[in-house]
Amino acid sequence: MRWKTLAATLLVATAMAGPSTSQVGFDNREAAENGWSMEQNRSAAWHLAQHRRLSAALGTLQPQRQGIVDAYVLSIGLDSDPVFGREAGEAQKVLTRRYGATGRSIFLAAGAGKENTGTPQGSPPNLATALAAVAAKMNVKEDVLILFATTHGDPRLGLVYRDGDNAVGMIAPKRLAALLDGLGIERRLIILSACFSGVFVPLLNGDQTIIITAASSQRTSFGCNPGNDWTFFGDAFVNTALRKPQSLEKANDEARSLISLWEAGRGLAPSEPQIFIGDKAHLWLDALEMRMPKTETPKTGRAANMTS
């Protein structure tokens, strides 16, 4: 259950803010709305390595093709618990294949080391930089951003960023909306695998936006034990439903049914995954799904509902 570590994480956030911040009153919610994050005990080599990793990843992005609805995939694990990195990494592969985004996808994951190569750190600043890089390559009126994020969630603060004792931060719905709106990205499929992720729907919705969340604004989601390969939502939606040549709406229905079955089998309170589809979203979704592969790919990892 994802909620169990949140209290400790938020206490760490306040402690990391330091005495000077505490004296003026550190407001977690305001910080989340401003996209606040902090790194500590990081070496200069770590920072340089992260700069090189992110630059290398962004350098692979291919430009959009005029007259073609191109998809750009950005998949990020914002917590260093391994389940989130595993889920985000595989989600990048599934979404890239499904929506023909080869050469137009990026994977970020918290827990990166100080080597010069590898996956860039999944952090709020790197997310903002990656979004800007995607916007610079795409035609924001024609192409589509597909954003997948997985981490712990909070009903007031949104998505929580954590890398052990070295980093912490928050991304509230207001902050994510400001980033996307500021870049002019109108066509977007946003998939959020986190507790309480339904809080993002009211601020991110739009007539060309689709939002799919693991839970409602009032409910937790399940399966985020560090040793897992998937959360319940990730396994049902990404690892199962999206691998099949079926519409996004049918995939969502299949995932919801699976999650409900798994939760009921364990006596868990329903997470109530959410979906919002804007009135004009099918203008781009239909174009992407017409090019969707006609064959199913096999699932990977251990099933989320089989783990403790």
Strand positions, DSSP E, 93-247: 105-109, 144-150, 152-154, 158-163, 167-171, 188-193, 209-213
Domains of the chain: 2-16+27-306 (3.40.50.1460)
Residue ranges, the chain, pLDDT below 50: 1-8, 11-12, 14-15, 19-23, 308
- CA 109 vs CA 5, 78, 118, 163, 260: distances in Å: 19, 6, 10, 10, 28
Cα 234 to the center of its chain, rounded Å: 11
Please work out, in degrees rounded to the nearest 5, the angle formed at the alpha carbon of residue 152 by the alpha carbons of 28 and 27. 0
Distance, in Å, from the CA atom of 1 to the CA atom of 214, rounded to the nearest integer, reads 13
Contact 139, 174 (CB under 8 A): no
Distance set, CA 166 to CA 55, 66, 107 (Å): 22, 43, 21
283: part of which helix (H) or strand (E)? helix 282-290
End-to-end CA distance of the chain: 10
**Amino acid 7: pLDDT:** 46
Closest CA to 201 of 222, 185, 216: 216
Give per-residue pLDDT as tens, 29-75: 999 999 999 999 999 999 999 999 999 999 999 999 999 999 999 99
Determine contact, residues 269/215, Cβ cutoff 8 Å.
no
Give me the residues paired with residue 162 across strands: 79, 168
Rounded CA separation 97/169 (Å): 31
